Amino acid sequence: MTGADLDGREYADALVSDRQCPGRASITYNLGRDWKRFRATVGVDDDSTESAATLTIHGDDTVLSKNALAVGKPRELNLRVENMLRLTISYSFEGCYLPDTWVVLADPTLS
């Protein structure tokens, strides 16, 4: 899937979850203690079969954000990541909704 749609808005630049069962995964990025903020618009893609998901973001061992996401209700994240080495992004949704459920981090930006 290239790009994503959240609440009718198209995002060309997006991290989009893979199609897999069970509906959970995580990825960790090395920030190298070089960044201060992580920003993104998060949600469940408008074309998803399942309408809800949970997104959790950890900075090192600290929960920075835990959001219940729903189709048509994107959220703006603006998280402090100053002096953090690793950023872990995790998502989950109930059951196996193959092939069409996607958790989206649109316009992800480190500054």
* Boundaries of domain holding 71: 4-110
Quick: pLDDT tens for 92-105: 876 665 567 788 99
The stretch 101-111 carries a mean pLDDT of 92
Q: Report the CATH number at residue 57.
A: 2.60.120.1060
Q: Is the pLDDT of residue 89 over 90?
A: yes
- CA–CA distance, 67 with 53 (Å, rounded to integer): 8
pLDDT band at 1 (very low <50, low <70, confident <90, very high): very low
Count of the separate structural domains present in the chain: 1
Say if residue 36's pLDDT is above 80.
yes
Q: Which of 26, 12, 73 minimizes the C-alpha distance to 48?
A: 73
